[in-house]
Amino acid sequence: MTAAVAERSRVLAALDTVRDPELDEPITTLGFVSTCVVSAAGDVVVRLRLPTYFCAPNFAFLMVADAYDVVAALPEVRSADVALEDHFASTEINAGVAARAGFAVSFAGEALGELDELRRTFLSKAVLAGTDQVCRPLVAAGLDPAALATMTIGDAPPSAQLERLCRRRAELGLRTDPAAPLLVDPGTGAPITGAEVSLHLARARTSRVGIEANTGICRGMLRHRYGTTGAGEEEDEG
């Protein structure tokens, strides 16, 4: 393996940590990374693509900025050129990211503020969806849903879904210690108790459906638009 090849896999591994905030999945596995080239000297060129010309620019900005940050932070990288292609706002987005300007600066007069709130909104949905992923198998195995109200994270059997849920909770600043309640309001961190449980579980299920249906549409459109596999793209279950 040459140094450049090894470096490319490190860059791709870094890009694996960048998620589409709404779909809650890495941009690599979604197929959004069309190009990832690393020179022997450590100059990196990454090109991103999206399912449509009109994908929401706020999400696009977050992904391009996050991709730039993780690539530029790699020790062996000398320069990072990260840009979005084929998008109605790519000029503003790419210029803003390259200049390390925030979103509001890049879209002066058109955006009311930075995107932290947007991130939080969708992280909350990801926590709800993750709650469904963790709780559904337990209920399917015979657990009374009401019993979930008194369970802690430590009571839930270890699984990849539980780890993922804890990571999302941590990003929102919610407790993830073994004694933390399993069911919490993602906005406030308050435990869900008693009569609230069934509505909370229904919402968790609906959030998961929303994210997965949306992912399905995005993947279908990306495939129709480009017909090529992105760097690190993985098939979903369809």
Partner 1 sequence: MYEKNGEKYFVVDTHMHYWNAAEDNWVEGAEQYAKGWIECFYGYHGLGPDDTRWTLEKYKKYSEDDLMSDVFDKGHVDVAIFQPTDLAEWYKEGFNTTERDAILFEKYPDKFVLNTRWDPREGEDGLKTLRHNVERYGCKGVKLYTAEWRQGSRGWKLSDPEAYKYLEACQELGIKNIHAHKGPTIWPLDKDAFDMTDIDHAATDFPELNFIVEHSGIPRIDDFCYLATQEPNVYAGLSVVVGGLMHSRPRFFARCMGELLFWVGEDKMTFGSDYAIWEPKWQVEGFVDWDFPDDEQYADYPRLGVDGKKKILGLNAAKLYGLEVPEEYQLGYGKPAAQDDAKLVTQ
Interface residues with partner 1 (CB under 8 A) are 22, 51-54, 56-58, 88, 103, 107, 110-113, 117-118, 121, 125, 136, 140, 202-203, 205-207, 209-210, 212-214, 216-217, 220-221, 223-225, 237-238
The C-alpha atoms of residue 182 and residue 186 are separated, in whole angstroms, by 11
Closest separation in Å from C-beta 181 to partner 1 = 22
Closest separation in Å from C-beta 204 to partner 1 = 10
Q: Which of residues 12 and 27 has its CB atom nearest to partner 1 in the complex?
A: 27
Tokens of 134: 């963790």
Tokens of 101: 């300007």
Contact 23, 55 (CB under 8 A): no
Q: Which of residues 170 and 217 has its CB atom nearest to partner 1 in the complex?
A: 217
Q: Which helix (H) or strand (E) holds 82?
A: strand 79-84
Closest separation in Å from C-beta 185 to partner 1 = 14
Closest separation in Å from C-beta 35 to partner 1 = 21
Q: Which of residues 121 and 152 has its CB atom nearest to partner 1 in the complex?
A: 121
Q: Which residues of 69-104 are buried (b: 16+ CB within 10 A; e: fewer)?
A: bbbeebeebeebebbbeebebbebbbebbeeeebbe
Q: Distance from CA of residue 98 to its chain's centroid?
A: 22
Q: Which of residues 51 and 181 has its CB atom nearest to partner 1 in the complex?
A: 51
